[in-house]
Amino acid sequence: MSGRLTQVTLRAFDAVARLLPGRSSGPEHLQTGRRGEEEAYFHVRRQGYVIVARNYRTPRHRSELDMIGWDGEILCFIEVKTRTARDLYPAESAVDFEKQRDLSKVARSFLRKTHGDPPCRFDIVSVYLEPGRDPDIVLFKNAFRMA
């Protein structure tokens, strides 16, 4: 129940913030991405994940890990892809080999800072925020291997 309350509260704050005068929250595509990550966060929490980090970056790599969390005993590195329309290619197809390689480098950096050698995997969450519709969220577990 408290997760649902938090989600409703965040959406209410976002709605109020859009009404207030002042600077914009940045380009529209970045706002869409942030909203998609919020939707994905609450989705994976409902699936039982325990999120331990969000937007994890290292100074030595280009990419960031959108979320890192535990799905039972497995450490998951989660990439979120958000779209406002269903084009020719699904959102998850944007995680190409180069992106997988970059995410793997950041994941290795994170793993060097953890104790032990936990089993891990990469998941992708596709979020479609189409106007006039509820968000459509698809979780792809074990979407790719460490590159």
Residue 21 is assigned to a structural domain of this protein: no
Residue 41 is assigned to a structural domain of this protein: yes
Residue 22, pLDDT above cutoff 70: no
Residue 15 is assigned to a structural domain of this protein: no
| Distance between CA atoms of residues 132 and 80, nearest Å | 21
* Residue 126: per-residue pLDDT: 96
Better-predicted residue by pLDDT, 54 or 14: 54
* Residue 28: per-residue pLDDT: 79
28-55 per-position pLDDT tens digit:
777 888 999 999 999 999 999 999 999 9
Residue 8 is assigned to a structural domain of this protein: no
Residue 7 is assigned to a structural domain of this protein: no
CB atoms within 10 A of CB 94: 14
Residue 43 is assigned to a structural domain of this protein: yes
Residue 106 is assigned to a structural domain of this protein: yes
Number of domains in the chain: 1
Give the tokens for residue 12: 């209410």
Model-wide pTM > 0.85:
no
Residue 2 is assigned to a structural domain of this protein: no
| Distance between CA atoms of residues 137 and 102, nearest Å | 24
138: helix, coil or strand? strand
Spatial contact of 48 and 3, defined as CB atoms under 8 Å apart: no
- The CATH number of whichever domain residue 135 belongs to comes to 3.40.1350.10
Query: 71: domain range?
Result: 28-144
49 burial (CB, 10 Å; 0-12 / 13-18 / 19+) is buried
